[in-house]
Amino acid sequence: MVLIASALFFIAYRSIDIPEPNSEYLTQTTHVYYADGETDLGEFAIQRRDPVGLEEMPDTLKDAVVAAEDQTFWTNEGIDPKGILRAAFTNASGGVTQGASTITQQYVKILYLTQERTWKRKVKEAILSLKIQNQYSKEEVLEGYLNTIYFGRGAYGVQAAAQAYFKVDAKDLNLKQSAVLAAVLNDPNDLDPANGKAARSELKGRYQYVVNSMVEMDAISEDDGNRAYDKLPKFPEPDAEQAYEGQRGHVLQMVRKELLRLGFNEQEISGGGLEVTTTFTKKAMDAAKDGQAAIRPPSLGYKNLHVGIATVEPGSGAVRGIYAGQDYLLSQLNWAVEGGQAGSTFKPFALAAGIKAGFSLEDTFEGNSPFTTENGYTVGNQGDTDYGRPNLIAATESSINTAFIDLTTSMENGPQEIIDTAVDMGIPPAEAPKKDAWGFPTSTPGLEANEQVALGSQTVSPINMANAYATIANGGVAAEPYIIEKVVDQDGETRYDHKVQDHEALSEDIAADVSYAMEQVVETGTGAAAMSGFAWPAAGKTGTATNAADEVSSSWYAGFTAQYATAVMYVRGDGDDGLDGYLEPFYGGEFPAKTWRAVMDTVMAGEEPIELPEPVFVDGEAPEEGHAPYTPPPSPTKTRNTDRPDPDDSTDSSPTGDPTTPTGDPTTPTGDPTTPTGDPTTPTGDPTTQQTQPTTRGTGGQGGQGRQGRQVGRRRRAGHHGRRTTLT
């Protein structure tokens, strides 16, 4: 009988080869770091595992595991014959196969076999264990085992376990900590000390068994054993297992998408042991999260009121911080990426285009409301305010809609020039050249060449808005935004190292003039109240846009210092719901500007104040024929419609009636909120149309204040026949 069994075993031994390891046990955790390359931001893992060499494991750990799991490990042949016979007998009698496997057998079962409990699997386990024993040294087997076995808390291998239980590296484990990790191997879930008094009591019994076994094996002295025996070590509070909670999930999804775009596959990302250094700084990330929390109304929940924030570094395009909105576990919509209608934050692109086309900051444009173009499009200022003939500095400072429409239509092919300038500066085109797989949008829905393009009905993400404003801060040189700085693989080879991709979008002189006009918004214009006392020279622009119900649906403030550009956006619901009566006051100079201030106070802490450039007053060859000389009124005044509060500024998304140029519908996110990487929902409703004539007309204008220059404008005023829209 023994001869027959031996013959069968020999045949089986010859016929069974060592198979390929189970793929999940060859994976390593991919670590994602902040920009310093050291501070953990998050991780991607099929199994959380960080292999370390046997030489990096303390002797106390190796001895404790051998004492707990296989005291004959260093002398046995890799199998437990008695255990195999017991398993066969128990199975034959209808029972369940028992354990008593050696460390080698456990390693084989994990690495090569399934977890089924049959005598056939047990025999195969024994054969493979013998082959492994003959092919690898004991040290190699123990190292593989200790980097593979599950310790609980999602940790595979001793390095992950040391961090999970004690927040130390494996090499720094002491005797007590080593004995605990060896003890929990017996039942990782039920012996977790975080699971209550009963679990801790069970763990203590197993722990004391391990300590006694180490003494019996002469791995430690009796005195050391006595000192360790009575009490378990101290356990830090375990980390929450929600690896994607809060803002971390939003950031990790952006990083995952960017890695895919850069050519890494899912297997490499989730199990390739990559070391990914991002552009995000903890300082800027915390500033965005804390800044919005400090300013947003506490009575308005995170479910409906969404804040999107992005901070970009001029010159490099590095995205340093974002705030995506609600906790990722509750909503996967990232409002720093999805964006909303830009409103008057789009006007600086029209200003830059106008100066490129030959106009000057000192040129004056139509500031009275309403104003009708030759094509019949009528626009109004907020409250139907009259400003006379403001120059472009005053028009930017007070966000005068009529002046920017006059500028747009005074340029040859003005709408397209504005779009081209915006795209050059960092606003993506209307359609991405290829499938949008980046960690941020590469298209701008609604970016259409119509007369009201400067008023911002297109959907822009805070990341792209901040990056485009960073172009102004960087003297007109635009850089591609990016979020991954470097990727190193598990062998230490650099797989990706970012190189700044930039180009000149504006001349340095034009950028200086645009910056100067935007400084007036901060100093005396629509953003002045929120910016009072800000310690660094800054420039910015407020913005609001309205939906089909003539309700303000997005509210913005975007601006920059010499060091950073930040954009803040407030939206509600699906991005097109009204803020009127919900967020009061709802203009860009209020909550968005105050949030920007709170964010940038933290981001800029420790930075030197750097003056923004002086204006050059670039003056080209823009047409002047046909214009009467401008005479400022003796006492410029503003008379506003009192139906609505005095705004910072506000823009509508479309004209009344049927203009001859397309107006486009308001657009929003391109993500599906039900999945982390999907496309956003599309808002309801059409762009706003307002047909009500104002009840009050102003008599003066702001144009008489400050620099005055040549008068520009060839368009019809209200009173001529033409369709009209008053923007709010």
| Identity of the highest mean pLDDT range in 144-153, 286-295, 702-711 | 286-295
The C-alpha angle with vertex 362 and arms to 361 and 366, in degrees rounded to 5, equals 95
The C-alpha angle with vertex 130 and arms to 128 and 131, in degrees rounded to 5, equals 65
DSSP letters of 442-506?
S--TT---STTGGG--SEE-HHHHHHHHHHHHTTTEEE--BSEEEEE-TTS-EEEE----EEESS
Residue 710 to residue 389: CA distance in whole angstroms: 10
pLDDT tens for 94-112 read 543 344 588 888 887 776 6
What's residue 25's pLDDT?
54
On whether the CB atoms of residues 668 and 461 are closer than 8 A, the answer is no
- Sequence-distant (≥ 6) Cβ neighbours of residue 121 within 8 angstroms: 113, 114
Query: Are β-strands 305-312 and 565-572 bridged in parallel, bridged antiparallel, or unpaired?
Result: antiparallel
Q: What are phi and psi of 86, to 5 degrees?
A: -65, -40
Residue 496 to residue 133: CA distance in whole angstroms: 40
What's residue 577's pLDDT?
76
**10 Å Cβ neighbour count for 658?**
9
* Residue 199, CB-side half-sphere exposure with 13 Å CA sphere: 13
On whether the CB atoms of residues 152 and 188 are closer than 8 A, the answer is yes
Q: Is the pLDDT of residue 173 over 60?
A: yes
Residue 119 to residue 121: CA distance in whole angstroms: 5
On whether the CB atoms of residues 310 and 566 are closer than 8 A, the answer is yes
Residue 693 to residue 726: CA distance in whole angstroms: 8
Helix (H) or strand (E) holding 217: none
The C-alpha angle with vertex 57 and arms to 137 and 150, in degrees rounded to 5, equals 85
Share of the chain above pLDDT 70, in %: 73
pLDDT tens for 449-499 read 999 999 999 999 999 999 999 999 999 999 999 999 999 998 899 999 999
Lowest average pLDDT, out of 158-172, 258-272, 366-380, 569-583, goes to 569-583
Residue 519 to residue 561: CA distance in whole angstroms: 10
Tell me the mean pLDDT in the region 126-149.
81
What's residue 88's pLDDT?
54
On whether the CB atoms of residues 725 and 663 are closer than 8 A, the answer is no
Tokens of residue 67, six digits = 């004492």
pLDDT tens for 626-647 read 333 333 344 333 333 333 333 4
Tell me the mean pLDDT in the region 572-600.
81
Query: Are β-strands 275-278 and 484-488 bridged in parallel, bridged antiparallel, or unpaired?
Result: antiparallel
Share of the chain above pLDDT 90, in %: 53
CA dihedral 257, 261, 265, 269 (to 10 degrees): -40
DSSP-assigned letter for residue 175: H
What's residue 1's pLDDT?
46
**10 Å Cβ neighbour count for 393?**
25
- Sequence-distant (≥ 6) Cβ neighbours of residue 103 within 8 angstroms: 65, 66, 69, 70, 73, 141, 142, 145
What's residue 161's pLDDT?
94
Give this prediction's pTM.
0.71
Residue 559 to residue 28: CA distance in whole angstroms: 42
On whether the CB atoms of residues 666 and 553 are closer than 8 A, the answer is yes
On whether the CB atoms of residues 211 and 230 are closer than 8 A, the answer is no
Whose tokens are 């008593």? That residue is 100
Tell the CATH superfamily of the 48-229 domain: Biosynthetic peptidoglycan transglycosylase-like (1.10.3810.10)
How does the average pLDDT of the chain come out, rounded?
Answer: 80
Lowest average pLDDT, out of 329-343, 363-377, 700-714, goes to 700-714
Q: Is the pLDDT of residue 305 over 90?
A: no
Confidence of residue 363 (pLDDT cuts 50, 70, 90): very high
What's residue 240's pLDDT?
60
Residues in the chain: 728
pLDDT tens for 213-259 read 999 999 999 999 999 999 999 999 877 656 788 999 999 999 999 99
Domain spans, the chain: 48-229, 292-470+502-704
pLDDT tens for 604-623 read 999 999 999 999 999 887 76
Query: What is the per-residue burial (b if ≥16 Cβ within 10 Å, else e) of 62-79?
Result: bbbbbbbbbbebeebebb
Residue 10 C-alpha from the chain's centroid? 59
Enumerate the β-bridge partners of residue 306: 571
pLDDT tens for 51-92 read 899 999 999 999 999 999 999 999 887 776 665 565 555 555
Residue 724 to residue 231: CA distance in whole angstroms: 82
What's residue 300's pLDDT?
77
Tell me the mean pLDDT in the region 535-553.
87
Nearest to 604 by CA among 210, 180, 283: 283
Task: Give me the CATH topology for the region 292-470+502-704.
Answer: Beta-lactamase (3.40.710)
Confidence of residue 120 (pLDDT cuts 50, 70, 90): low
Q: Is the pLDDT of residue 685 over 70?
A: no
Residue 357 to residue 351: CA distance in whole angstroms: 10
Tell me the mean pLDDT in the region 26-46.
88
Give the residue with greater pLDDT, 137 vs 215.
Answer: 215
DSSP letters of 302-364?
TTTEEEEEEEE-TTT-BEEEEE-SS-TTT----HHHH-EE-GGGGHHHHHHHHHHTT--TT-B
DSSP letters of 97-157?
PP----HHHHHHHHHHS-S---HHHHHHHHHHHHHHHHHS-HHHHHHHHHTTSEEETTEES
